[in-house]
DNA sequence: CAGGATCCCGCTAGATACTG
DNA sequence: CAGTATCTAGCGGGATCCTG
């Protein structure tokens, strides 16, 4: 049918992907980025540079720096998560052939757009921790 | 010590919680909210009302509505996730003793603040799906 | 330093069946 | 309608050992 109404076009553009639909690829993508390590890594990259308003920094970090900053992360999860982020084009991996080798991870522009949100999520968790804790006490008290 | 400098106070307030620290409670909270179903449920609640700019809507939804909107979610995960959200004070659960019973879930003010971010995450996944897909093709092509 | 490879445990998502 | 209860397969993720 060559007859496509404006409403149909609009609907197609707006609904190209919908994470509420189980089969939609964006559901899987949402599952990937809704992940503790993804959130922390994306929040970490570039976070050092923006400490005092230096927004134009290189937003990159070395493997060992990440490993130290994200306390408690295993090498496996760190590497695994970084790989998936690299595959999705959110970070770039750069190997500098020094001795020993130096590997840096840097946010791409795509990754940067998500970085903002992840910092927001992390900040939310930190600033509302007390509220949540209080709510849990209330809830548990009511049940018990 | 009664002598607390302004800088100390400021540092204490700012760093009260840090999700980069493994033992910090906010790390666990971050893990909870960095979850597919949490994201989808929080993004869903109130999403119907704001469709056309009605921001003051009741931002509530019935169990069955959520179940239908979040295609593919099992009752177990839906109930379980809703319980944890209720416990953390992000949603309220209201039982109306009709026949059969009606249960509605509504965002609290705390939940609303996270709702905004979750909608952002969901929208990000949907709008950047094509970019990510293209990046994966490039990456897989380079490796293969 | 920055991983790769393996083993293995625990939890949790998902399916199924039942209920007030 | 809105759950609860139970079971199980699968994998997320930690620990350990090894390498260029």
Number of domains in chain B: 1
Complete DSSP assignment for A66-102? HHHHSTT--HHHHHHHHHHHHHTTSEEEEEE--SS-E
* Cα separations in angstroms, A24 against A16, A30, A67: 9, 10, 33
Above pLDDT 90, what percent of chain B? 76
Residue A20 scores a pLDDT above 70: yes
Say how far residue A128 (Cα) sits from the centre of its chain. Answer: 20
Q: What is the pTM (predicted TM-score) of this model?
A: 0.88
Is residue A114, in this structure, part of any structural domain at all?
A: yes
**Nearest-CA residue relative to C1' of C3:** A79
Say how far residue A131 (Cα) sits from the centre of its chain. Answer: 24
Which helix (H) or strand (E) element contains residue B103? strand B102-107
What per-residue confidence (pLDDT) applies to B7?
63
User: How much is the average pLDDT of B121-140?
Assistant: 96
Residue B68 scores a pLDDT above 70: yes
Is residue A47, in this structure, part of any structural domain at all?
A: yes
Length of chain A: 144
As given in the structure block, the two tokens for residue A60 are 């990159």
> How close A3 comes to chain B (CA, Å)?
26
> How close A99 comes to chain B (CA, Å)?
25
Is residue A129, in this structure, part of any structural domain at all?
A: yes
Instruction: Answer whether A22 sits within 8 Å of B122, measured CB to CB.
Output: no
Task: Name the residue among B106, B68, B70, B138 with its Cα closest to residue A24.
Answer: B70
Among the residue ranges A1-5, A64-68, A117-121, the one predicted with the least confidence is A1-5
User: Residue A115 in contact with residue A46, Cβ under 8 Å?
Assistant: yes
User: Measured between CB atoms, does A131 come within 8 Å of chain B?
Assistant: yes
What per-residue confidence (pLDDT) applies to B143?
72
Determine the structural domain holding residue B95 and report its residue range.
31-143
pLDDT confidence tier of residue B124, bands split at 50, 70 and 90:
very high
ω into A29 cis (within 30 of 0): no
User: How much is the average pLDDT of A65-75?
Assistant: 94
CA atoms within 13 A on the CB side of A124: 23
As given in the structure block, the two tokens for residue B100 are 């059969």
CA atoms within 13 A on the CB side of B143: 9
| Averaged confidence pLDDT in chain B | 87
Is residue A130, in this structure, part of any structural domain at all?
A: yes
Per the listing, tokens 């249960």 go with B103
User: How much is the average pLDDT of A115-135?
Assistant: 95
Is residue B108, in this structure, part of any structural domain at all?
A: yes
**Residue B52 maps to which CATH number?**
1.10.10.10
Is residue B22, in this structure, part of any structural domain at all?
A: no
Q: Which of A23, A36, A51, A120 to mutate to test the interface with B (most CBs of B within 10 A)?
A: A36
pLDDT confidence tier of residue A9, bands split at 50, 70 and 90:
low
Contacts of A132 in chain B (CB under 8 A): 29, 88-89, 110
Is residue B113, in this structure, part of any structural domain at all?
A: yes
Task: Name the residue among B49, B58, B64 with its Cα closest to residue B103.
Answer: B64
| Averaged confidence pLDDT in chain A | 87
Rounded Cα distance, A62 and A10, in Å: 44
What per-residue confidence (pLDDT) applies to B50?
45
User: How much is the average pLDDT of B54-74?
Assistant: 85
Rounded Cα distance, B65 and B55, in Å: 19
Task: Supply φ then ψ for residue A107, to 5 degrees.
Answer: -65, 135
Is residue A100, in this structure, part of any structural domain at all?
A: yes
As given in the structure block, the two tokens for residue B106 are 């509504």
Rounded Cα distance, A30 and B114, in Å: 16
* H runs (alpha helix) in A1-144: 6-14, 25-33, 36-44, 63-69, 75-87, 109-127, 129-143
Give the SS3 label for residue B93: strand
User: Residue B83 in contact with residue B71, Cβ under 8 Å?
Assistant: no
Model confidence pLDDT, tens digit, residues A81-110? 999 999 999 999 999 999 999 999 999 999
What per-residue confidence (pLDDT) applies to B23?
92
């Amino acid at each position: 049918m060559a007859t496509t109404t404006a409403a149909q076009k609009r609907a197609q553009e707006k609904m190209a992907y919908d994470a509420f639909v189980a089969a939609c690829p964006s559901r899987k993508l949402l599952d990937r980025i809704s992940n503790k390590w993804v959130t922390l890594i994306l929040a970490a990259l570039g976070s050092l540079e923006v400490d005092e308003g230096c927004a134009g920094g290189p937003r990159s970090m070395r493997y060992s720096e990440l490993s130290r900053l994200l306390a408690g992360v295993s090498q496996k999860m760190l590497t695994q998560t970084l790989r998936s982020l690299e595959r999705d084009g959110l970070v770039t991996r750069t190997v500098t052939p020094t001795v020993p080798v130096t590997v840096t991870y840097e946010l791409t522009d795509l990754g940067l757009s998500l970085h903002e949100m992840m910092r927001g999520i992390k900040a939310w968790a930190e600033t509302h921790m007390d509220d949540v804790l209080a709510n849990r006490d209330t809830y548990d008290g009511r049940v018990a």
